[in-house]
Chain A
Amino acid sequence: MVTGVSRLLGARLAASLAADPRVDRVIGVDVVDPPASLVDLLDGVARVRVDSDSFGSAIAGADAVVHLALVTAPDPRRGGRAAMKEQNVIGTMQLLAACQREPRLRKLVVRSSTAAYGASFSDPAVFTEDDAPREVPRGGFARDILDIEGYVRGFRRRRPDVTVTVLRFAPVIGATIDTTLTRYFAQPVVPTVFGRDPRVQFIHVDDALEILRRAVTEDHEGTYNVAGPGVLLLSQAIRRAGRIPIPVAEPGFSAAIGLTTSLGIGRYTRDQLDLFVHGRVVDISRLVEEFGFTPRSTAEAFDDFLARHGGGMVRAERIAAAEQAILEAIRQVRAAREGT
């Protein structure tokens, strides 16, 4: 059973599992119907639409559950933050309660996030799976993630016979995926926090899928960071995208988030503000060792995203051409002066 199949990652995982001869039957669960673009993908998947507080109702007889149905940012059209928390926290509680009662269950894979490490000024530069957040995070999503991981720990204690894999994903990026963060980089002028240039990491959507697939078809008990090796600075990523960074003072940024959120037109969340101030880099050596798989680097994943969403105002070729033109002009001026 896979939850969250009405979005790209869930739909692709469900489709890939349905095509796997080792898997008999795939049940795809979500709170909304999939968009038209994903319906074809879900051909071989038995789809069930549920309310966010009854994920567990579709579980009967499942021997593996993959929980991907998390909301990363409040959607004002679908109930905002309250609905987001309802689905993330209550939805997960419900699902875990049903899992606990399901005797055939052997495996549980839960999508988490590197937001689990919170954001504080006394954080180490690179997080390992054993690090705990030093402060309660400001962002709703990060707090939900902490709650969810808490419930999963409880589940592990009560069902030690089930293999539980928690995957802490860095932001997922790729040519085909549409998230708040990909929309952020697609704007012509990109706001950043003044005086901060955080380190960010991405995971390519195809690699995220491959790791989820391996987590389901193989046995990998434990918690793993999932991110592309290497880092980009936020300013560097914006430059590579050919966009123009506009630094905004943090109090102003924070106030703007509060205002736009209360007006229901929120584009950014405090989760993102934390990311834009602190950045977040994780150590993936445990993942590489256990899964025998190295995702493509953060820079490569970002390049692939740019291949589709590129075409910013500042093109690398134009800058290279300008560089050559200026160099030639200086040479000519100097040569002319030497000549006279």
Chain B
Amino acid sequence: MSDQSVPGDHPHHSALSAAPDEPDEWDRRVAAALAFLRRRLTGQYEVDAFGFDVDLTEHVVHPLLRLLYRQWFRTEVFGVEHLPAQGAGLVVANHSGTIALDALVLATVLHDHHPERRHLRLLAADLVFRLPVISEFARKIGGTLACQPDAERLLRAGELVGVFPEGFKGVGKHYTQRYQLQRFGRGGFVTAALRTGVPIIPVAIVGAEEIYPMLADIKPLARLLGLPYFPVTPTFPWLGPLGAIPLPSKWLIEFCPPISTAGLADQADDPIVVLDLADQVRETIQQTLHRLLERRPDPFAP
């Protein structure tokens, strides 16, 4: 009897003492997860003035979005070398997909593919900050209100800032208008770049248009709920919560060569300069979209 208990005990001890020496992936992950939980429960993490919670973003939000963009959307990324290695930059992308999932994917893709693992600070519409839960989430992942003071403060601090000048016109457009860039508004993003002298990096995102193809917009319901649109997709609202599952389209993301704005600070208030530059960015994105679409004839290609 006593003989049997010895071999049962022996490997138990050796495995325990061996654990710190051998690189044990599983053990490291458990320890990291527990340490993360402790930090959350005791409030021992840092946030910046905008409420950006790097700890939460890197340990919870990015892993989930990574799964989504790699496995579900099979995303291919081009032109990462056009992003500044350090210092500020204004990343301008097309916006689509009924809900702004493309912004979250873009931020995660940029972080994962940039050699310095930089974070993209997203600028969002004020509706986002009116809604409970969503406003909290937006700030924690590094977002802030799309307004001149916030954009300039982030750019002056040397951050990469992400904007979607189409706004709701882009995300809330009908499926038949897919990949047709909407108006860029007053070009406020150009003004911010000119004032701070940072380069503009246009980005084309292909794939987000097909995740929730919007077939109709129930305007009275949208007005009732105070939303910019109320989408009807092949799955929403028919399938209830299942309608929230995005269709598995194939995504291509291309970062285009930067457009320099250095030395134009004194022209930041000149509407002609601002609108011309906004048009140049818009054209670049539109042409890149067409080029990417030719490479991806089937939206649901592997």
Contacts and interface: CB of A to CB of B under 8 A. Distances in A.
Given A121-B130, A250-B132, A335-B15, 15 more contacts: A122-B129, A123-B145, A124-B150, A125-B149, A193-B132, A195-B135, A196-B135, A231-B51, A237-B43, A238-B43, A239-B41, A316-B44, A323-B37, A338-B15, A339-B15
Interface of B: 8, 10-13, 15-16, 19, 26-27, 30-31, 34-35, 37-38, 40-45, 47-51, 53, 126, 129-136, 139-140, 144-145, 147, 149-150, 153
Interface in A250-293: 250, 279, 281
Interface stretch (A2-10, A13-21, A326-334): A326-334
Given A125-B144, A332-B16, A339-B12, A319 B45 contact: no
A335 B19 contact: yes
Given A123-B145, A331-B19, A233 B53 contact: yes
A320 to B, nearest CB: 6
Nearest to A240: B43
Contacts of A238: 43
Contacts of B47: 199, 231-233, 236
A296 B44 CA distance: 18
A340 interface: yes
Contacts of A231: 47-49, 51
B149 A126 contact: yes
Q: Which interface residue of A128, A197, A230 has the most chain B CB atoms within 10 A? A: A197
A194 interface: yes
Contacts of A235: 43
B104 to A, nearest CB: 18
Contacts of B27: 331, 334
Given A281-B49, A327-B34, A331-B19, A121 B126 contact: yes
Interface in A195-224: 195-197, 199
25 contacts: A124-B149, A125-B49, A126-B49, A128-B149, A194-B132, A195-B136, A196-B136, A199-B47, A230-B49, A231-B49, A233-B47, A233-B51, A236-B43, A239-B43, A314-B42, A316-B42, A323-B37, A327-B31, A331-B27, A332-B16, A335-B11, A335-B12, A335-B13, A338-B11, A338-B15
A299 to B, nearest CB: 8
Contacts of A128: 149
Contacts of A230: 49
A125 B136 contact: no
A93 B255 CA distance: 59
A124 B144 CA distance: 8
A193 B139 CA distance: 16
A336 interface: yes
A238 B8 CA distance: 47
Nearest to B36: A323
A323 B133 CA distance: 28
Contacts of A326: 34
Contact of B30 (A232, A327, A339): A327
Contacts of B16: 331-332, 335
A236 B19 CA distance: 34
Contact of B45 (A126, A236, A323): A236
A196 B128 CA distance: 12
B49 A122 contact: no
B302 to A, nearest CB: 37
Contacts of B31: 327
Contacts of B131: 195
List the 8 closest pairs (A to B, CB-CB), nearest first. Answer: A195-B132, A239-B43, A335-B15, A339-B11, A195-B133, A240-B43, A124-B149, A236-B43
